[in-house]
Amino acid sequence: MTSTERVNKWRKDLSPEKREELRKKNAERAKAAYHASSEVKERQQSNFKKSYNEKPEFRAKVVRSASTGRYHMTPTEYDAQLKEQEGHCALCPSTDGDAGRRLHIDHDHACCDGKARACGECNRGLLCGPCNRRLAAVEDVLKMGSVVPNKGTWLERALNYLDSYRD
């Protein structure tokens, strides 16, 4: 048995708690090395860029964790929300965000006071890129009630969507 096989067997036999503990310890050690040495920093950045460019599954994982983490939503919660919306935008039949990416996580910007990360409590639904931008542009007007949308229009769906998330 090679040393790599022994290590892999040892890792496989670890309890989930011990595995998580070691993962955190290794992450902290890598972070410290990254900040302590410009050579390590350059090597890690190079490895990341190479994986990002050459491995679509790695790129998808990075994009997914970055977008869901920004809104305090786990990938499982995202998938559940998407299933609840039957796989499409909450306001239209579109099934992707911008340029073939995932749907955007919509949240109430008034809640988090313009912070880079949302609190997670103000998340609403998942929107395609065009609906996300349109909603941002008309949200305040719709909330004030100064516009009465025609039946069956996008504006009516947007108003109903916003009403469903009001306290």
**pLDDT for res 15:** 87
Q: How far apart are CA 105 and CA 165, in angstroms?
A: 14
**pLDDT for res 131:** 92
DSSP label of 150: P
**pLDDT for res 28:** 92
Q: How far apart are CA 22 and CA 33, in angstroms?
A: 16
Tens digits of pLDDT across the chain (167 residues)? 898 888 888 888 888 888 889 889 998 998 898 899 999 999 999 999 999 899 988 887 877 777 777 888 888 888 899 999 999 999 999 888 776 678 888 888 778 766 667 787 888 899 998 999 999 888 878 777 777 888 989 989 998 888 888 76
Phi, psi of 107 (to 5 degrees): -145, 165
CA distances (Å), origin 41, targets 22, 32, 35, 73, 92: 21, 10, 7, 29, 44
The tokens for 164 are 């469903």
Does the residue 159 lie in any domain?
Answer: yes
Can you tell me whether residue 127 is helix, strand or coil? strand
Does the residue 26 lie in any domain?
Answer: no
Phi, psi of 105 (to 5 degrees): -90, 115
In the chain, helix, strand, coil percent, each to 5? 65, 5, 30
Radius of gyration for the alpha carbons in the chain, expressed in angstroms and rounded: 22
Does the residue 21 lie in any domain?
Answer: no
Q: What is the reported pTM?
A: 0.63
Does the residue 134 lie in any domain?
Answer: yes
Q: Are 68 and 74 in contact (CB under 8 A)?
A: yes
Domain count, the chain: 1
Does the residue 71 lie in any domain?
Answer: no
Does the residue 30 lie in any domain?
Answer: no
Does the residue 113 lie in any domain?
Answer: yes
Q: How far apart are CA 43 and CA 7, in angstroms?
A: 24
Does the residue 47 lie in any domain?
Answer: no
Which domain covers residue 96, as residue numbers? Answer: 87-167
